[in-house]
Amino acid sequence: ANRTMSDAVAVHGRDPQHLIEKIIRERIYDSLYWKEHCFGLSAATLMDKAVELSAVGGQYGNQQPTEFLCLVLKMLQLQPEKDIVIELIKQEDFKYLRALGVFYLRLVGRSKEIYQYLEPLLNDYRKLRVRQGDGFILSHMDVFVDQLLREERVCDVILPRLVAR
């Protein structure tokens, strides 16, 4: 259950799960949320779990992975079709589902499509809860997207290089 699908396509020249560092992947596999909620997810049931998200973030507390990060890894395993990911980004009803789609596209997408689909979201000013350290902070979707476009590490994950415009 911790393997990428057999028909998966390499992303940036490697197994998609390896876009998340080994130590974080191991913590995700050992987490209770992964074992209870992510083990048997399919692409369809993954979206139901994503709708239930209440925060974005990487690791918190004693290096526990967030539910958001667990679902990102599951998406890397399942590799949903590009059209599905784009629909996640375009939908406006569930902000954490959109954040999941945006983060996934930033990990696996090409620079051109990342700019194409993420830049319009700089006009989305909805509030997001971000789980960090020992609590939560308040941020906004446009700030999250801006971090994905500018920073090397977001949610404790090293992002692939983006080609400059």
Number of domains present in the structure of the chain? 1
Write down the pLDDT at residue 42: 87
In a domain, 85, yes or no: yes
In a domain, 1, yes or no: no
Binned at pLDDT 50, 70 and 90, residue 8 comes out as: low
- pLDDT tens, 42-53? 888 888 999 999
In a domain, 11, yes or no: no
Structure tokens at 93: 């009803």
Question: What rounded mean pLDDT belongs to the chain?
Answer: 90
Write down the pLDDT at residue 86: 94
In a domain, 163, yes or no: no
- Average pLDDT, integer, range 114-138: 93
In a domain, 6, yes or no: no
In a domain, 140, yes or no: yes
DSSP letter assigned to residue 18 = G
Query: Helices in the chain by DSSP H: which ranges?
Result: 22-30, 32-33, 43-51, 67-78, 82-90, 95-108, 111-118, 141-150
Write down the pLDDT at residue 18: 86
Question: Comparing 1-10, 27-36, 73-82, which segment has the lowest mean pLDDT?
Answer: 1-10
Host domain of residue 96: 16-158
